Amino acid sequence: MTDSSTGAGAAYGDRDPDALARRAGERANPDRDQHFLVDDRVLDRIPAYLPDDVDASHLLEIGGGAGALTDRLLAVAADDGSADTDAQRRLSVIERDGVFAGFLREEFATAIDDGLLDVIEGDALDVDLPPFTACVANLPYGVSSEIAFRLLPEGKPLVLMFQAEFAERMVASAGDAEYGRLSVSAQHYAAVEIVERVPKEAFAPQPAVESAVVRCTPRDPDYEVGDEAFFLRFVKALFTQRRKTVRNAIRNTGHISGLDDPEAVVDAADEDLLRQRPGDLDPSAFAALAELARDHGSPTEV
């Protein structure tokens, strides 16, 4: 590609991340979750973690910052991947900080003029999400869980950077020490895998913790959930009693799950499930129990 330091006119994919952070004109503020990726090799690999068959026609990035990842994603968007040049791809970037949103608009003015990029200045927890086909982001860690659970129900491929400890909880399996509400909820929506561990040195300023890139590939679960909100509430309720048996966890958490008659659920449930602990149940077992609870436990809105 071309000169990596020239700013607005440069082609995409090889801007120098340090130069970008310098040109952004303000020091990144860790109190605002601003840890910018400065390792070119990591930046080059992240978009490549999207599934091979991904529909990249409308990518979404959350937290554009000084634009190092934006630049890589624009390289994907600019290459429409087909002989049909009318098949214009697009990248939308949501950035809460007005300084960096303004910087992105200047730095990538050509992409905006070409209809390749739009910068949405706002909080990713509040703004209307554009109709994206896949999302790639180095997330602000302070709100990474809230953002992930805004994105997961959309059912699109996601490649997201998290704190390593959070990522490990997302991908944990039943029986693992890290397995919990987060694992069940994430795996309900997607097949989740850690595709890369990223050391602190890859960021400036460096975060306090190690990071990991997680790929979420949407899946159709092999079980039925009639009421998703109730299912997620039921999982949350049972994990508040993770050291108890499932039997006692159901009995003790009707006020959280919204069950008026938890005893009726216990009466109807399979003894093998009741004897286990919440951390031993995989998402399909939780779903089976949640359906039983809806049928027998007189659920009400909480």
Ligand X SMILES: C[S@@+](CC[C@H](N)C(=O)[O-])C[C@H]1O[C@@H](n2cnc3c(N)ncnc32)[C@H](O)[C@@H]1O
The contact set with ligand X (CB under 6 A) reads 32-37, 62-65, 68-69, 94-97, 100, 123-125, 138, 140, 143
123 or 260: CB nearest ligand X: 123
94 or 135: CB nearest ligand X: 94
- Shortest distance in whole angstroms from residue 9 CB to ligand X: 21
Q: Is 37 annotated as a binding residue?
A: yes
Report the residue closest to ligand X, judged by CB: 63
CA distance 200 to 209: 7
Question: C-alpha dihedral over 123, 126, 130, 134, to 10 degrees?
Answer: 70
CA 76 to chain centre: 20
- Shortest distance in whole angstroms from residue 193 CB to ligand X: 20
Q: Is 252 annotated as a binding residue?
A: no
Q: Is 35 annotated as a binding residue?
A: yes
Q: Is 63 annotated as a binding residue?
A: yes
87 or 125: CB nearest ligand X: 125
Burial environment of residue 224 by CB neighbours within 10 A (0 to 12, 13 to 18, 19 or more): exposed
63 or 299: CB nearest ligand X: 63
The set of residues, in sequence order, having a beta carbon less than 8 Å from that of 182 and lying 6+ positions away, is: 145, 166, 169, 170
124 or 213: CB nearest ligand X: 124
Helices 68-78 and 40-48, interaxial angle, to 10°? 40
91 or 292: CB nearest ligand X: 91
Note whether 213 and 49 are within 8 A (CB). yes
149 or 223: CB nearest ligand X: 149
Q: Which has the closest alpha carbon to 73: 106, 19, 24, 37?
A: 37
Q: Tokens for 60?
A: 């979404």
> Sheet containing 134-138: which strands, arranged edge to edge?
117-121, 90-95, 58-62, 134-138, 158-163, 211-218, 190-198
Q: State the binding site.
A: 35, 37, 63, 95, 123, 138
Q: State the binding site for S-adenosyl-L-methionine.
A: 35, 37, 63, 95, 123, 138
